Amino acid sequence: MLARKVMRERQRLESAINAFERLERELDENIEMISLAEDEGDEDLIAEAEKALEKLRTETMRRETEALLSGEADGNDTYLEINAGAGGTEAQDWAEMLMRMYIRWAEQHGYKVQIMETGAGEEAGIKSATLKISGEDAYGWLKTESGVHRLVRISPFDSNARRHTSFASVWVYPVVDDNIEIEINESDCRIDTYRASGAGGQHVNTTDSAVRITHIPTKIVVQCQSQRSQHKNRDTAWSMLRARLYEEELKKREEASQAEAAQKTEIGWGHQIRSYVLQPYQMVKDLRTGVESTNPPAVLDGDLDPFISAALAQRVGGVTENISED
């Protein structure tokens, strides 16, 4: 186990060094290209080199953020849970918008996304959902997204076109490696089975294949309905519970993060980490770091890196500054 850990760390360091050397080489090449193009008056070549430099700048910022991912479980895959707050259809629609936002972010970064469980809303949206996002550093990138997210908009469900405020919570915790032992006393757990929800027709299960496990001492609840087999869903739910309990232990070591505090508070006013305002003006603002974007559609389409980078920097004592994006 130690050998695997050392080899994984070696590969990680080699990858980081190779990336740094490549960025440095490409930087020098493009600066030289601009110098030559200026001597020859080649505006097209200058524009091409400047575009390449902007791309390098973006990658460098991402690499700087990756350097902050040094936590014990940062390299792991992650589970991401979304729960609608009070407010019925409005909050449930907002929860579904958040689910799409994180799926889009994950896809843009080359991560694999699996929907482990969804609870359909009464009229629209979802009451809850659990995603499994797989790829290098998935948990490290997303761990600061835990908390309450607030939406302000003109409601598409209000015939009088009034402005509504909706809340939904996000909870992120790492997938536990097989070599990490988490002891669970089965007598401390309640296991329920139920019929998985679906879109209707042939896709609706006719047996109680979905599984919900409640860990009574911690009141942690996990559920899975991604497979038609109750046995497979049960195994996955146990894995999810192990992951949640492991995350609890990590949070204790870190003296309780904002994510844990958000999980324990009401999904509503005073507890949000980020506001998404679509009316009467356009603004997304992270209330922890002050980072802002004036392009909510882009953020809701997965453009989360400025917010994530700032939150990670703040978490390790870095300095953040306001960012306004058109």
What percentage of the chain carries pLDDT values higher than 70?
A: 82
What does the pLDDT average to over 229-233? 87
Let me know if residue 317 belongs to a domain.
no
User: Of 48, 66, 84, which residue sits at a domain end?
Assistant: 66
- How large is the angle between the packed helices 43-66 and 305-315, nearest 10 degrees? 40
Type and span of the H or E element at 308: helix 305-315
User: Of 50, 66, 82, which residue sits at a domain end?
Assistant: 66
Residue-level pLDDT at 326:
44
Residue 62: pLDDT over 60: yes
State pLDDT tens for residues 12-32: 677 778 877 888 888 888 898
Residue 233: pLDDT over 80: yes
| Domain, as residue range, for 11 | 2-66
**Which residues make beta-bridge pairs with 83?**
128, 169
What percentage of the chain carries pLDDT values higher than 90?
A: 34
What does the pLDDT average to over 264-273? 62
Whether residue 56 sits in one domain with residue 170: no
Let me know if residue 289 belongs to a domain.
no
Side-chain half-sphere CA neighbours of 124 within 13 A: 10
Query: How many domains, the chain?
Result: 2
Measuring CA to CA, which residue among 234, 244, 184, 242 is closest to residue 211? 234
Whether residue 136 sits in one domain with residue 255: yes
For the range 4-12, what are the long-range contacts, defined as Cβ-Cβ under 8 Å and sequence gap of 24 or more? 4/179, 8/75, 12/75
> DSSP secondary structure string, 148-194?
EEEEEEE-TT-TT--EEEEEEEEEEEEPPPTTS-----GGGEEEEEE
> What's the rounded Cα separation, in Å, for the pair 116 and 102?
14
Let me know if residue 286 belongs to a domain.
no
State pLDDT tens for residues 126-177: 999 999 999 988 999 999 999 999 999 988 877 777 888 999 999 998 887 6
Residue-level pLDDT at 323:
40
Mean pLDDT over each residue of the chain, to the nearest integer: 82
Residue-level pLDDT at 172:
92
Residue 289: pLDDT over 90: yes
Q: Quick one: tokens of 274?
A: 């980020």
Let me know if residue 7 belongs to a domain.
yes
Residue given tokens 């659990």 in the structure block: 130
pLDDT band at 295 (very low <50, low <70, confident <90, very high): very high
One-letter amino acid at 268 equals G
Question: Which among 58-62, 102-106, 204-208 has the top mean pLDDT?
Answer: 102-106
Residue-level pLDDT at 275:
95
Cβ pair 188, 215 in contact under 8 A: yes
Residue-level pLDDT at 139:
92
pLDDT band at 215 (very low <50, low <70, confident <90, very high): very high
Whether residue 80 sits in one domain with residue 9: no
Residue-level pLDDT at 325:
45
Whether residue 119 sits in one domain with residue 204: yes
Rg (C-alpha) for the chain, rounded Å, is: 22
> What's the rounded Cα separation, in Å, for the pair 170 and 228?
26
Q: What is the pTM of this model?
A: 0.67
State pLDDT tens for residues 111-127: 999 999 888 888 889 99
Cβ pair 170, 143 in contact under 8 A: no
Count H helices and E strands in the chain, helices first. 8, 11
Whether residue 239 sits in one domain with residue 109: yes
Residue 265: pLDDT over 60: no
Measuring CA to CA, which residue among 301, 311, 319 is closest to residue 105? 301
Q: Quick one: tokens of 3?
A: 């050998």
> What's the rounded Cα separation, in Å, for the pair 281 and 275?
12
| 124 CB-contact burial (10 Å; exposed 0-12 / middle 13-18 / buried 19+) | middle
Residue 81: pLDDT over 90: yes
Whether residue 192 sits in one domain with residue 132: yes
Whether residue 35 sits in one domain with residue 99: no
Let me know if residue 291 belongs to a domain.
no
Residue 267: pLDDT over 70: no
Residue-level pLDDT at 270:
57
Give the three-class secondary structure for 283.
Answer: strand
Cβ pair 309, 65 in contact under 8 A: yes
| 9 CB-contact burial (10 Å; exposed 0-12 / middle 13-18 / buried 19+) | exposed
| 66 CB-contact burial (10 Å; exposed 0-12 / middle 13-18 / buried 19+) | buried
pLDDT band at 269 (very low <50, low <70, confident <90, very high): low
Q: How would you label 246-277 residue by residue, b for 16+ Cβ within 10 Å and e otherwise?
A: bbbebbeeeeebebbebbeeebbeebbbbbbb
